[in-house]
Structure 1
Amino acid sequence: MTTIDQTMKAPSSKGSRVYYQDSVVVVTKGLKLEVVKILSLYTIIDLSNNKFEGHIPSVLRELIAICVLNLSHNGLQGYIPPSLGSLSVVESMDLSFNQLSGEIQQQLASLTSLEFLNLSHNYLQGCIPQGPQSHTFESNSYEGNDGLRGFPVSKGCGNDPVLETNYTVSLERNSEFFNDFWKAALMGYGSGLCIRLSVIYFLISTGNLRWLARIIEELEHKIIMRRRKKQ
């Protein structure tokens, strides 16, 4: 686990080759897999569903050949050690359902081989670090941590200049749109009102109010007919 050797065909201990034939069930990338033979090229640490307490040991940084690390469903506390960023070939990391707190270390965002990450149901907070693999993780990787902000959770992160800039530009565009809309509406309403007032003023000044008398007579006739129908 401390040396990446692609030519090794089986695990070795103190110079002698040791073969493990017993099958084991491991959880990797959110799936249960039964490994009928422990493979040297697929190194796994699965200590999930135990009652381990305390901090995640920093000695894990020396196990650079690990492909899968599963410490979920325990009672681990404290911060996520930045030394986990040394696991350059890790493909799956599950630290869910523990009592981890603090911020997610930026070193985790540099793990370019990481395909599956689950940090859900802890007490993590702060901004989610962004990196090459961060945009491939879904929001359920971080659920159950009410203090987390930034992509891909719904809450915004104040330290994310891209999100803040886009949000500000969107507000400015919406504000400009509504301002232009109301200006146009008021101009149209004002123009129509001026035209109506001008026509009424012209008719009054010329004494030609026959059209107004006809409208009043028609309204009186309609009111009388409605009353008769009701009776």
Structure 2
Amino acid sequence: MTRDNARKAAVRARMAATGEPYNVAARAVDQDQTADQADPHPAARQPTDTNPPAWTLAPTEAEALLGITAEELGIRALPADATPQQRAHAEAKWRSADVDQPCRCSGDCTHGIPCDADLDDGDRCRGRLVHVDRYPGSMWGVIEWWDVHECDTCGDRYGNGVRLPAIPFGERRADGVTVIYDGVRHPNFPDIDVDDPGIERCSSCDGDNAPECDDCRIHDDPDEDYDDELDEYEVYG
């Protein structure tokens, strides 16, 4: 994939993830690249950790009834000696909490604060924000994450960046490759189906809901050559 096509893919991925218009998303991608002073090196997937953590926290009875597992309780359920990969996976996997409950992320979010958005009738929304997602927010800065909050009343969504120095979503290798930890969903580096190497599999719906899936729609450019795009990734079985 050419440098220009890589940039377009990154811009479309950010648009799909944040709802930003093209010019805003393009500016953010360009600033990200300039700040990191890095070439668009390929991304690699860290091999899966074969030793799952010994969870130190179990779901409550109410959480279990909702199908919430220990894996979805966030970093607070990990042991103190959890690996960086396990911590990143937990930070990307937690289940959203009710607005009256503490958020299951590691912190630095605005879960539970008033929405106060302008409504069509001139009033202000009296709802509260729910932290619904956190995923990598940079192609190269591995401590840069992106938060998504949604109002529990009007449904408005808000996105913002957050820096988590203690929870990198991957590693930067000496050869310039960004290694994304397994189990972390990165909007700019969707997983590739190794059984069908000519097709990228969506990291959100795995291709099963492509007509409706926003993440699938970022790959709808007929000018893209996905065979060339495979050269931009390293995939570990």
TM-score (norm 2): 0.23
More helix by share: 1
Larger radius of gyration: 1
More strand by share: 1
TM-score (norm 1): 0.23
